[in-house]
Amino acid sequence: MAERETTAEPEPDRTFGPTSKLNPDPEGIFEPTSEWSPEPDGTFEPTSEWSPEPDGTYEPMSEAELTLEPLSEFGNGASFEPNSEFEPEPETGEVTPEMVILLNIYAIFIALIILGNLCVVVTLLSKKKLRTTTNMYLVSLSLADLFIGAFVVPAAIMSQFSEQYLGSILCKLCQFVSHGSIACSIFSILAIALDRFNSIALPFRGKISFKQSIITVIVIWCAAFAYASRAIIMYDLVVETFNGDTGWTAFWTCSISRIFKPVWNIVILVDSIVLFWVPLIIISLVYGIISKKLLSMPIQNKKDSHSIRGKQRVVKMLITLVVLFLLCHLPLHALYLYIFWGPGYFPKSVLVIKTFEVFSFSNSWLNVIAYSYFNENLRNTWKEELGKSKCFKNRFRVSPIKMSSKSDMTANSTTNTCSSTSKPQQQSKM
């Protein structure tokens, strides 16, 4: 007798699909319905739609096994690459009062940062008497702040309407410029501290020349943006999620890419060490030595007294710059540590991040106030330029031929002050 051929049947698919016959309750628990009711002994009769086990029975499942758990991908701090399969809810475009306040603050900051730092850079570079080593480091610091006002703050304004307006390329560029400018700022402050240490604590070693200071500035910028180049690779336009009062919420943001998420905690820690704690420790030690040296210097004549007071003003300015830097940047940096090392994003995280960004951006124009307050040469140069500009404007005023009153004569005499005072000087020279 010929042996009967047997064919193996494929393994049936026992997954629950979203059908009209079996739907979960709101709590995620599947209850038996009239169409799938079990027998009293816990077994189901075999049907054509659902194949039984080889022994013809189905083991009843517990409620814990039938409860739908949220996927691990939607866990705390998860991120998604923007694609067609998963898109967050579209934004309504509603302008909130908080958004209006932030937009006005950002607009004011752009004007203050660009105009203030541009005046500092032009003044320090155009006047030969102001081309000192310390002022060259101030130029480096002002240029870094100028980059923030020209690129980073406008990008923050665009992100108030939607992060998608940035796009992937602009997101990477803004993060690159932001990280590079912050690194350049702290490196410039560190260079100023070391320059003052070399000038005050080690006077016999020799001062750094102007050309050497320019080379140092170039090295600072190359090192800062080389350190920030990782932002081009690691940052992208992604979707972040958090579990709020109404459930899981997704939102667009320019953040770390999903690929580098596992190592992002380490990157945040390295940034904290390199850009905050190590420079802070070095600067604190340097200023402690400088202050002790200045207090122990003997004052023999007025020239020494004037020189020591000038050095003390520089030290006070540098301490002010360090304090401003820490007060403005530390809250945002601490928030990122809390998000990536703590519970993750929270319902008001976007608003808190934008608020702390305001503190971070304010450092770029507060530095200008510190320069003008402590740097007497810079302040006097600005006064001279403003005085010259007034005389320059008065030279183009047309004085009236006929004067009808005494007040007109007074106004005409004050108008020609600059020209009248310059004529006797010209005659005496002749």
Query: What is the per-residue pLDDT across 299-329, written as a single tens digit (0 to 9) for each?
Result: 665 566 677 777 778 788 888 888 888 888 8
Q: Which of 60, 69, 11, 16 is nearest to 37 (CA)?
A: 60
34 located within any domain: no
Cα 183 to Cα 424: distance, rounded to the nearest angstrom: 54
Longest dimension (CA), the chain: 140
Is residue 190 scored above 80 in pLDDT?
yes
Q: Which two tokens stand for residue 55?
A: 């022994």
Position with higher pLDDT, 155 vs 16: 155
Percent of the chain with pLDDT over 90: 11
Position with higher pLDDT, 185 vs 11: 185
In whole angstroms, how far apart are CA 316 and each of 33, 157, 189, 319, 321? 79, 34, 13, 5, 9
Give residue 325's pLDDT.
83
Give residue 242's pLDDT.
60
59 located within any domain: no
Query: Is there a contact between 109 and 149 (Cβ–Cβ < 8 Å)?
Result: yes
Cα 279 to Cα 272: distance, rounded to the nearest angstrom: 10
Cα 203 to Cα 212: distance, rounded to the nearest angstrom: 17
Per-chain mean pLDDT for the chain: 71
253 located within any domain: yes
Give residue 256's pLDDT.
79
134 located within any domain: yes
pLDDT tens column, 374-403: 888 888 888 887 777 655 555 545 444 444
233 located within any domain: yes
349 located within any domain: yes
pLDDT tens column, 155-187: 777 766 665 656 788 888 888 988 898 899 889
Is residue 241 scored above 50 in pLDDT?
yes
Position with higher pLDDT, 429 vs 136: 136
Cα 197 to Cα 285: distance, rounded to the nearest angstrom: 10
Structural domains counted in the chain: 1
Q: Name, of 3-17, 60-74, 102-116, 156-170, the range with top average pLDDT.
A: 102-116
Taken in order 84, 87, 93, 95, the sign of the CA dihedral is negative
pLDDT tens column, 123-162: 999 888 888 888 899 999 999 999 888 888 887 777 666 6
pLDDT tens column, 38-81: 555 655 555 444 555 556 555 555 554 444 444 433 334 444 44
Determine the distance from the C-alpha atom of residue 297 to the mean position of all C-alpha atoms in its chain, rounded to a whole number: 41
177 located within any domain: yes
44 located within any domain: no
Q: Which domain holds residue 178?
A: 79-297+304-387
- Secondary element (H or E) of residue 125: helix 97-126
> Confidence class of residue 428 from pLDDT cuts 50, 70 and 90?
very low
Strands 235-244 vs 247-256: parallel, antiparallel or unpaired: antiparallel
Determine the distance from the C-alpha atom of residue 79 to the mean position of all C-alpha atoms in its chain, rounded to a whole number: 20
Is residue 361 scored above 60 in pLDDT?
yes
Give residue 68's pLDDT.
44
pLDDT tens column, 248-267: 666 677 777 888 878 888 88
Please list, residue by residue across 353-378, b when 16 or more beta carbons sit within 10 angstroms of its beta carbon and e when fewer do: ebbbbbebbbbbbbbbebbeebbeeb
- N-terminal to C-terminal alpha carbon distance within the chain: 140
Give residue 113's pLDDT.
93
Give residue 87's pLDDT.
44
Statement: the pTM of the whole predicted model exceeds 0.75:
no
Q: Which two tokens stand for residue 342?
A: 């703590």
Percent of the chain with pLDDT over 70: 60
Contacts 24+ apart (CB under 8 A), 329-338: 329/182, 329/276, 329/359, 329/360, 329/363, 330/276, 331/356, 331/359, 331/360, 332/356, 332/357, 332/359, 332/360, 333/271, 333/272, 333/276, 336/268, 337/268, 337/269, 337/272
- CATH assignment at residue 210: 1.20.1070.10
